[in-house]
Amino acid sequence: MRHRYHVGYLLLLFTLVIVAHTAQAEPPGFLGQPGSAQQDATLHGHDIVLPGISGDWGGTRASLEDRGIRIESAYIGEFVRDFSGGTPGGNNAVYQDNLDLTMTLDSKKLGLWRGGTLFIYGLRNHGGDPSANIIGDLQTASNIEAPDQFIVHEAWYEQQFSGGFLSVLVGLHDLNSEFYVSDYGSLFIDSSFGIGPDMSANVSVSLFPKAGLAVRVRVTPTGNSYVQMAIYDGDPSTRSIHSAEGKLMLGEAGFSVGTATYKVGYWNHSADKAFAGQTFGNDYGMYGIIDQEIMHFDVDSTVGAFFQYGWAPAARNAITRYIGGGFHLHGIIPTRDEDDIGIAIARADTHLSTETTLELTYRLVLMPWLTIQPSYQIIRNPGGNSAIHTANVGLLRFEVIL
């Protein structure tokens, strides 16, 4: 049975590559990077540079970048309050923060060879773990919730061949910077809009807050299509290879048609999986994403929609299905061309019940280096338990590009 899934998955990817040759659009997606302002600029096509509050360091930053060394940093602070419901003893508030420090080296600009990139990402986290301690939801209301730590989150080298047709990446790599990503969904603060819990909550996955060892290969046959496959350490928390941990293998294919982007993926975790009194030789699942621009008022004003679907076999997983989707409104307020408004729903099905999160958020760009983003979430059946009252959660996030 396991071999049938592998063969079907490869046939699906091959079919998508053939179809993608006929599409006419820009390459889908963008790499994860520090700073939601830069991510949003990439998504909406703004040609801007964000030096940060510290400026150009008297010309040093620009000089280093000309020589192939790019240094970026961002600080995110967030207040979280559970107004009602959730974990017993609600009406609690916590503060948490996240500091990103990254350095990117370009081999060509360094005078070495073409197509090489070395990326190092330091990560510092501190906070009160709101989902674990005051909300009790399984989808994780804040995507920066993490244990206290100061680590090297990512450290990888990528080499491109044939002008980017083929690229190979090796090292500590955050899976969610390239796999299972919705461009429009990235606006939201709830973690499920970043990566579905059908994968992230069922098996050990190489993503924030601690990436693991990986090898990733991507083929870009046209300017609007790609196929990528990767093997990740089965338990990123150990940062070592043990046979008992298994490995996570996955593949994803995507293509764009007009203003729509489609992605499908399949994953397989080879470690033994114990669930409901049974032991299975592996675990697996599949997912799909659609990002679609549905209105375009002018150069800066757009309305986009996204849809996410993820599935994992019920016999061996606590979360059996995930459905998410919503709307991303950009620049629709007069004189606020860079602001974003979003409303979305994330639903995770469990064996007990269904946890459903409704999020309303507004991302306000006050300065090129400063954003403020309030978010209000209504979480029904926190933890997938219908006996727990609906949680009403408010979050206030600010981000400073340093």
d(CA 206, CA 285): 16
* 66-123 pLDDT tens trace: 999 999 999 999 999 999 888 776 558 999 999 999 999 999 999 999 999 999 999 9
What was the pLDDT predicted at 58? 85
Residue appearing with tokens 């071999």: 3
* 314-356 pLDDT tens trace: 999 999 999 999 999 999 998 899 999 999 999 999 999 999 9
Q: Strand 116-126 to strand 247-257: parallel, antiparallel, or no bridges (unpaired)? A: unpaired
H or E element, residue 262: strand 260-269
Q: Which residues contact 247 (CB under 8 A, 6 or more apart)?
A: 231, 232, 233, 234, 269, 270, 271
What was the pLDDT predicted at 99? 95
Residue environment code for 344-361, b if the CB has 16+ CB neighbours within 10 A, otherwise e: bbbbbbbeebebbbbbeb
* 112-129 pLDDT tens trace: 999 999 999 999 999 889
Q: Which tokens hold the place of 134?
A: 């005051």
What was the pLDDT predicted at 5? 41
What was the pLDDT predicted at 128? 83
CATH topology of domain 2-71+102-318: Porin (2.40.160)
Q: What is the pTM of this model?
A: 0.87
Mean pLDDT of 152-157: 96
What was the pLDDT predicted at 92? 87
- The dihedral sign for the CA sequence 43, 194, 161, 66: positive
Supply the mean pLDDT for the chain: 88
What was the pLDDT predicted at 90? 52
Q: Which tokens hold the place of 35?
A: 């700073």
